[in-house]
Amino acid sequence: MDVALARDWMRAAADLIAADADRLTQLDSAIGDGDHGVNLNRGFTAVVAALEKSPPETVSEVLVKAGATLMSRVGGASGPLYGTALRSAGKALPATAEVAPADLGAALQAGLAAVRKLGGAAPGDKTLVDAFTPALEAFDKAVAQGGGLAEAAGAAARAAEAGAEATVPLQARKGRASYLGERSIGHQDPGATSTSLIFRALADVS
């Protein structure tokens, strides 16, 4: 992945989130307060603007800047969680113009670890971790089998989508949906869904 591709990824993520903002908001209305699409759309629009205003020179800088922008613009739980994910991933990358798929996989694992530490969520809690975790497993597996970025990103996107769908029967144990108790069962988690969009964006541009 080079810096142009990293920027394209963030732009594609912003486009997918904008297109799906209503769906994310509807998912959030069922078990949260119905603003996930609105908030994330505001954040990723700001990310695209920030990257255009002063274009970074490394993949690392793209992700760090995107994460910091989300943290300062989104609020709620999504801001710190997605912000930490991208910032920590960016910081784990070498400061080079281009990074290998294995480096990106390792950096995203660092991002996931930071998210889990901040939010305290584990797989099965009905959060974005339920899409993020299988996505990275699929990504790493594809890379280990000699696949390129396109192949790994495609596998990650499919695994993230399956992970998001698998949150439907779960009872939420973290976040606002957890206050509904058993009533959170039967609804797809909006955070896991937006995570699958971000991996879909990576697959689309790779």
Partner 1 sequence: MKKFINDPADVVAQALAGVAAAHPELRVEIDEQYIVRADAPRPGKVGLVSGGGSGHEPLHGGFVGPGMLDAACPGEIFTSPVPGQILAATKAVDGGAGVVHIVKNYTGDVMNFQLAAELATEEGISVETVLVDDDVAVEDSTWTAGRRGTGATLLVEKIAGARAEEGGKLAEVAAIGREVNTHSGSFAYALTAGTTPAAGRPGFELPADEIEAGVGIHGEPGRRREKLRPAKELTHAALDAILDAKPFPGPVIVLVNGLGGTPLIELYLIYGEVARHLEERGVRIARQLVGNYVTSLDMAGMSLTLCQATDEMIRLWDAPARTPGLRWGA
Among 15, 35, 137, 151, binds partner 1 (CB under 8 A): 35
DSSP bridge partners of 98: 2
Residues 65-124 that bind partner 1 (CB under 8 A): 71-81, 118-119
Does residue 173 bind partner 1 (CB under 8 A)? Answer: yes
Does residue 174 bind partner 1 (CB under 8 A)? Answer: yes
Does residue 23 bind partner 1 (CB under 8 A)? Answer: no
Does residue 29 bind partner 1 (CB under 8 A)? Answer: yes
3-class DSSP string for the chain: CEHHHHHHHHHHHHHHHHHCHHHHHHHHHHHCCCCHHHHHHHHHHHHHHHHHHCCCCCHHHHHHHHHHHHHHHCCCCHHHHHHHHHHHHHHCCCCCCECCHHHHHHHHHHHHHHHHHHHCCCCCCCCCHHHHHHHHHHHHHHHHCCCCHHHHHHHHHHHHHHHHHCCCCCCCCCCHHHHHHHHHCCCCCHHHHHHHHHHHHHHHHC
Q: What are the tokens at 34?
A: 């119905």
Task: From 12-20, 30-38, 98-106, 147-155, give the range in contact with partner 1 by CB under 8 A.
Answer: 30-38
Task: From 11-19, 29-37, 135-143, 159-167, give the range in contact with partner 1 by CB under 8 A.
Answer: 29-37
Q: Please, what is the minimum distance in Å from the beta carbon of residue 37 to partner 1?
A: 9
Query: How far apart are alpha carbons 157 and 155 in whole angstroms?
Result: 6
Nearer to partner 1 by Cβ, of 2 and 22: the residue is 22
Nearer to partner 1 by Cβ, of 42 and 158: the residue is 42
Residue with the two structure tokens 């591709």 = 5
Are the CB atoms for 135 and 159 separated by under 8 Å? yes
Does residue 46 bind partner 1 (CB under 8 A)? Answer: no
Task: From 37-45, 51-59, 141-149, 151-159, give the range in contact with partner 1 by CB under 8 A.
Answer: 37-45
Does residue 57 bind partner 1 (CB under 8 A)? Answer: no
Does residue 183 bind partner 1 (CB under 8 A)? Answer: yes
Task: From 55-63, 94-102, 156-164, 172-180, give the range in contact with partner 1 by CB under 8 A.
Answer: 172-180
Instruction: Give the residues lining the site for partner 1 (CB under 8 A).
Output: 25, 29, 31-35, 38-39, 42, 71-81, 118-119, 173-176, 178-181, 183
